[in-house]
Amino acid sequence: MPIVTFNHIPFIGGGEVRGGFKEDGAAPSVIEIDGRPHFRHTVYNHQEVLGPLQERLEVALQGHIHMREIVESQTQIGEQRLITAAAVVGPPPGGAGP
């Protein structure tokens, strides 16, 4: 039976390649986990999380990133898609609304 996941933070993404890394500020791009640097906008242990699902995962619907992205790969059982919907951000506090 195929599996579809819905997750906030993407398992895998290319945002850091396109957007670059921010090393400081309120939301740096890189954090340290277990003494190793990781991109903080993807699931750092995605291989461990996806491992048991790998043979049946067909689609992962994910968010968090402010850009649309589709990562497709061919697995032993067929195509696998990780689809990120661009996050929508409203006006800043006190800003003009619709």
DSSP class of residue 53?
Answer: G
The amino acid at residue 79 is E
DSSP class of residue 64?
Answer: -
The amino acid at residue 32 is E
| pLDDT grade for 80, boundaries at 50, 70 and 90 | confident
| Beta-carbon count within 10 A of 40 CB | 17
pLDDT at res. 37: 78
Residue-wise pLDDT tens digits, 8-61: 888 887 766 666 666 666 667 777 888 887 777 888 888 888 888 878 888 888
pTM of the predicted model, to two decimals? Answer: 0.65
Q: b/e string for 15-35 if b means 16 or more Cβ within 10 A?
A: bbeeeeeeeeeeeebeeeeee
